[in-house]
């Protein structure tokens, strides 16, 4: 059993910690935004992923057809696994999806970023050749896409961010701003709120 943090993350709890987070992760984690709550949500999620603390990750805002996306930096083939960098892109244009990250509560943002970090924990385990075939099957094979997204959701829960993930997913399913086409597409590939609750109950112990 793992410990799940079921407390509701509120940005005000973390404001005093920003400087120490920035110092702790300087040179490894670049959170390229002036948005304080996005920055803090990133660091709070990261605090649940000890295995990523020494990994080079950059977060950037960008128009995307989805809310967030994690990938190895484009030049990864020029580097060894150990020297690889990763990107988390965060959507700033609601054209495709109906929402941007700004529609998410701080608590949901932590869970959502936690899901992206779960993908990175999978990437870091793979050498370049394995990573190329992993990405190719993710792009080309819908079953593989579904398997990968389910696994990322489960890893998020295993890292103690199940209730934060659940809030983001509930928002996604219920909020009218979310475009129906985006919602329907995603339903096929991610865990449902009921599945997340079942996994939390199965995997987590509470203090």
Site residues for Zn ion per CB under 5 A: 149, 152
CB of 71 to Zn ion, least distance (A): 10
Would you call 25 helix, strand, or coil by DSSP? helix
Residue 103 CB, nearest approach to Zn ion (Å)? 18
Q: Cα separation of 205 and 196, whole Å?
A: 15
Specify the residue, 11 or 99, whose C-beta has the smaller distance to Zn ion.
99
Buried b (16+ CB within 10 A) or exposed e, 116-129: bbbbbbebbebeee
Give me the residue label for tokens 């609601």.
94
Compute the least distance from the CB of residue 4 to Zn ion, in Å.
20
Which residue number places its CB atom closest to Zn ion?
Answer: 152
Q: Which is nearer to Zn ion, 11 or 166 (CB)?
A: 166
Mark residue 167 as left, alpha or beta (left: phi above 0; alpha: psi -120 to 50; beta: remaining).
Answer: alpha
Nearest residue (CB) to Zn ion, 39 versus 154: 154
Which secondary-structure segment (H or E) carries 198? helix 193-203
Rounded to a whole number of angstroms, the minimum distance from the CB of residue 199 to Zn ion is 16
Closer residue to Zn ion, CB minimum distance, 104 or 152: 152
In degrees, rounded to 5, the angle at the alpha carbon of residue 141 between the alpha carbons of residues 199 and 80 is: 85
């Amino acid at each position: 059993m793992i410990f799940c943090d079921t407390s509701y993350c509120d940005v005000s709890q973390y404001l005093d910690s920003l400087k120490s987070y920035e110092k702790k992760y300087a040179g490894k984690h670049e959170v390229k935004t002036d948005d304080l709550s996005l920055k803090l949500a990133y660091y709070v999620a990261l605090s649940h992923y000890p295995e990523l603390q020494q990994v080079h990750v950059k977060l950037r805002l960008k128009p995307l057809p989805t809310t967030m996306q994690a990938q190895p930096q484009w030049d990864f083939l020029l580097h060894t696994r150990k020297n690889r960098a990763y990107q988390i892109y965060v959507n700033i244009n609601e054209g495709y999806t109906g929402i941007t990250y700004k529609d998410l509560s701080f608590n949901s943002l932590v869970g959502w970023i936690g899901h992206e970090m779960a993908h990175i924990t999978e990437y870091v385990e793979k050498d370049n050749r394995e990573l190329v075939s992993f990405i190719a099957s993710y792009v080309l094979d819908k079953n593989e896409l579904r398997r990968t997204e389910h696994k990322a959701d489960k890893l998020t829960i295993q890292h103690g961010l199940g209730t934060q993930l659940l809030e983001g997913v509930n928002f996604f399913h219920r909020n009218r701003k979310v475009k129906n086409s985006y919602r329907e597409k995603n339903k096929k590939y991610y865990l449902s709120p009921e599945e997340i609750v079942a996994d939390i109950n199965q995997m987590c112990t509470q203090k």
